[in-house]
Amino acid sequence: METLRAEGGCAWDRAQTLDSLKAYALEECYEVLDAIDSGDPKEHCEELGDLLLQVIFQAQIQREAGAFDAYEVCRKITHKMVRRHPHVFAGETADTAAGAHASWEKMKARERREDPAREQQSVLSGVPRAMPSLLRALRISEKASAQGFDWSTAHEVLPKIREEMGELEEALEARDEPMLRHEVGDLLFAVANLARHLDINPEEALRQANDRFTNRFQHVEQRVLEDGQKMTDLGLDTLEQRWEEAKVALAADEATRRSLHSDPDSA
């Protein structure tokens, strides 16, 4: 990367800035997720390399500015991992995943106390605003919960969801567009809290729902095309019927894949 950005290097690489690289860093993160879902180790390895390139690229720009380099990035994360795992490196005990997480959070709290600037910050200030909104809702509610501001069980969240649904219906009846946006946001935030209590990542759950819808819709498109028709010429009742057929067909395909995965000899 140093060579690429030096005199005589690549004009495109030399033109990049931290701001211009933000979109690429985010894109590479999503491509890593897709590679994981694909189950293809070769693709996963390649995408991790692309993501690592973004780390090296940004570190090189900071090195040129005299701030830090890639070696400093590695040193800092190594020190952080050692510091945040006293149950591994410092003789403390944490025999469960929950205990290890509690130890991690305890060390984070100690770091905040030892840094006057961070001590004055809100506990929510460390949640990036650029994070996908459902994931950000999850992280915000996790931090609020750590301060005791939370429901006790998932069942206690359900009345809040019903309350938000009622307020959304009122806004819909009033045709109040700003309030509709407000209430839809409140409803999504409440659902994210329910997901947290159920130990479900709402961002991942919605991503999987998007995939299911896409697969079913494409199945319907294909069947309609095979019949020499157009979706726009079919009524909603017909499309609903095709949709239900797609659900059954794709569920059967998924069951077959799972069976083959659990018993390769049956193939």
89-106 confidence digits (pLDDT tens): 998 999 999 899 889 988
Give the tens place of pLDDT for each residue, 3-18. 999 999 999 999 999 9
The answer on pLDDT for 260 being more than 90 is: no
Alpha-carbon dihedral of residues 47, 52, 53, 58, nearest 10 degrees?
140
pLDDT per residue as tens digits for the range 25-44: 999 999 999 999 889 999 99
Cα gap 145→120, rounded to integer Å: 19
User: Is residue 261 predicted with pLDDT exceeding 70?
Assistant: no
Determine the pLDDT at residue 109.
Answer: 83
Residue 56, pLDDT > 80, answer yes
* Across 148-154, average pLDDT: 96
pLDDT at residue number 160: 98
CA distance readout (Å), 21 to 25, 126, 234:
6, 21, 45
Average pLDDT over residues 200-225: 95
Percentage of the chain lying above the pLDDT 70 cut: 97
The encoded tokens of residue 126 equal 């460390």
Helices (H), the chain: 11-15, 18-38, 41-64, 70-83, 86-89, 97-114, 116-119, 133-146, 154-174, 177-197, 202-226, 236-262
Mean pLDDT over each residue of the chain, to the nearest integer = 93
Average of pLDDT values for 213-239?
95
Distance between CA 22 and CA 9 in Å, rounded? 22
